Amino acid sequence: MHILIYGTINSFSLALMAIGFTLVYGISRLPNFAHGALYVVTGFIVWSFVNILGIHYIASILLSLILTGVIGAALYQFVLIRVRGMATSEIIASYAIGLAILEGLRWRGFKGMTYTLPVFIEGSIEIAGIPVDFQRMIVVGIGMVVVAFLWLFTHYNKIGLALRGMAQDERAAMMLGIDSDIMALVAMALGSSLAGLAAVVLLPLGNIVVEAGYNVLILAIAVCIVGGLGSWFGAVLAAFMIGFGQIITVEYVASHFHMVVALLAIIITLILRPSGLFGRQKELEERV
């Protein structure tokens, strides 16, 4: 039972970490390697709002999500737009930005373990005899809401439909009058805010440390590669596969193989099905 409960929690945590990354890639074909840095930055923004400016916790969270979205949009508008379409340059540029942000934070003294965010609700309950704290239940709840929101947004909202159109066929979408750059900008802002949302939900379970940025990026990439780059459904499914895989490994193999699961999943996927479970990007090439 504890595997089921904690596997589900871990899976939703991974889904939250990865969904912003896959959203940006799915729409703009831009691999945002600054994703992990945006995750950590959001944590520090909330911490600063609460502890330095004295803003209410909930208001700080909302403001930080908006601010992270703006930062993401600015990164696209001022840096990434210039290299769009050049895959290697996109990776180098976004990774360099992420590195500069994370190491800049470390350089400015954001290190140690004193940066923490409070949990939304204190306490825990027992589900079938297994203790689960409320924050983890909130992770699952928000994970479900995010997945549902994205589905509804991309099926019933004009901007969401435009984003979906872009993801399916950028040229066709442009012929229908959808502005490719605007949509990529929106995707980057939304993806950054989703990285921020993952941060504000998950960071209260631990502390805000620079190193988390690198971990989140690796996990997000693992989920996206296994699920198929750009496939939202694939990302969620992959999050569950890796999430349960990690928990089962910890329980039956050894806890220090926890991280190996994600890396092994990348290797197996690249060998057996390079486009991932639901990736269509290279499917045709693979068949040929």
Partner 1 sequence: MKRIVFLPFALLAMVVLIAFLGNAAYAAEPIIIGAPLSTAFLYGWDAERGMQLAIEEINTEGGVNVGGVKRPFEMAVIDTRDLEPGVPVSEALLVVEKLILENKADFIMGGPVRSEAALAAMDLLSKHKKVSILTTGVLTPAYHARVAENYEKYKYLFRITGEAKWMVGGEIVPSLLFIEKNYGLNRLFIMIQDVSHARAGGGIIAKVMKDKGWEVLGEPEIYPTGTTDFSMGLLKAKRQKAQVLLIWMDMPETSILLKQWYDLKIPALPFGSIIAAAEQPGFWKATEGKGEFTLANVVNAGNAPSNATPWTMKFFEAYKKRWNIEPEGYGTSTSYMGPYVLKDAIERAGSLDSDAVVAALEKTDMKGVYGRIKFDPKSHQVIPSLDPDEGAVGTIFQWQGRKRVVVFPPKIAMGKIKLPPWMK
Residue 105 CB partners (closer than 8 Å, separation 6+):
40, 41, 44, 210
Q: Which is nearer to partner 1, 251 or 286 (CB)?
A: 251
Report which residue type is found at 284: L
The least CB distance from residue 192 to partner 1, in Å, is 21
Alpha carbon distance 156, 164 (integer Å): 11
DSSP string, 6-69: HHHHHHHHHHHHHHHHHHHHHHH----TTHHHHHHHHHHHHHHHHHTS---HHHHHHHHHHHHH
Looking at the chain, the number of H-run helices and the number of E-run strands are 13, 2
Q: Which is nearer to partner 1, 228 or 245 (CB)?
A: 245
The least CB distance from residue 3 to partner 1, in Å, is 9
Q: Which is nearer to partner 1, 134 or 151 (CB)?
A: 134
Alpha carbon distance 4, 88 (integer Å): 40
Q: Which is nearer to partner 1, 179 or 211 (CB)?
A: 211
CB atoms within 10 A of CB 184: 24
Q: Which is nearer to partner 1, 106 or 282 (CB)?
A: 106
Helices (H), 253-287: 258-272, 283-287
Positions that interact with partner 1 (CB under 8 A): 2, 6, 10, 106, 111-116, 118-119, 124, 130-131, 133, 135-136, 205-207, 209, 211-212, 215, 247, 250-251, 254-256, 258-259
